[in-house]
């Protein structure tokens, strides 16, 4: 089976529970095609570089998938039908990254910087 990283952007006006349900739907598609989702990361509500489909922000979700190629075709077909998905991208990778992704490490680093600034100003 092949390894993939799949990222999708969901509309900003959705609740986090709805975004989690969308990620679960992708997981179900993968499992129905005899694959498995290795890791799911929700990067949260983030600003986009430019406006897409009248949205300035989007909920970002990344899934690391180990599945056959027809699974990716089905996931992308479902995303193209779903009005709540603004954009999606699937990339075939040689190996999944160990530990948290770059985006999750960046969020942690930003939180740490904020704590240090608060301590310096106190």
pLDDT in tens, 53-95: 888 999 999 999 999 989 999 999 999 999 999 999 999 988 8
Q: At what angle do helices 16-32 and 69-81 cross, to 10 degrees?
A: 150
Give the SS3 label for residue 17.
helix
Please give the mean pLDDT across all residues of the chain.
87
What's residue 97's pLDDT? Answer: 75
What's residue 94's pLDDT? Answer: 87
């Amino acid at each position: 089976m092949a390894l993939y990283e799949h990222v999708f952007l969901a509309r900003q006006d959705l609740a986090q529970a709805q975004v989690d349900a969308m990620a679960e739907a992708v997981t179900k598609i993968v499992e129905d095609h005899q694959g498995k989702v290795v890791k799911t990361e929700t990067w949260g509500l983030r600003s986009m570089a430019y406006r897409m489909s009248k949205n300035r922000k989007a909920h970002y979700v990344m899934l690391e998938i180990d599945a056959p190629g027809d699974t990716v075709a089905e996931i992308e077909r479902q995303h193209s039908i779903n009005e709540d998905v603004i954009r999606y991208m699937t990339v075939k990778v040689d190996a999944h990254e160990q530990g948290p992704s770059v985006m999750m490490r960046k969020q942690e680093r930003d939180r740490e910087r904020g704590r240090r600034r608060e301590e310096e100003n106190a």
